[in-house]
Amino acid sequence: MTHVIAEPCIGTKSADCVDVCPVDCIYEAEEMFYIHPEECIDCGACVAVCPVTDIFPEDDVPDEWADYKEKNRELAGLS
């Protein structure tokens, strides 16, 4: 399983998650950061430091932000 960054990151773009990721799978896009789903090891380190609580395990992304699962994949070049 991977983690997904959702809508609250847009406009905030705090890099705290990038700094703690042990495998460097979080990248910066124009509007937000995203997690490369094939590189994420599901450690959860990013979740604890996110100041806007927008990082979720893929299976726990709130319904209102479900499209961010695909958005992370698209930003990673996988769709």
Q: Cα(68)–Cα(23) distance, rounded to whole angstroms?
A: 21
Percent of the chain with pLDDT over 90: 92
pLDDT at 31: 92
Q: How many separate domains does the chain show?
A: 1
Per-residue pLDDT for 1 more than 80?
Answer: no
Q: Find the domain containing 16 and state its range.
A: 3-75
pTM reported for the whole predicted model: 0.93
Per-residue pLDDT for 60 more than 80?
Answer: yes
Q: How many CB atoms lie within 10 A of CB 56?
A: 18
pLDDT band at 12 (very low <50, low <70, confident <90, very high): confident
Query: 27, 42, 31: which is closest to 76 by C-alpha?
Result: 27
Q: What is the CATH number of the domain that holds 7?
A: 3.30.70.20
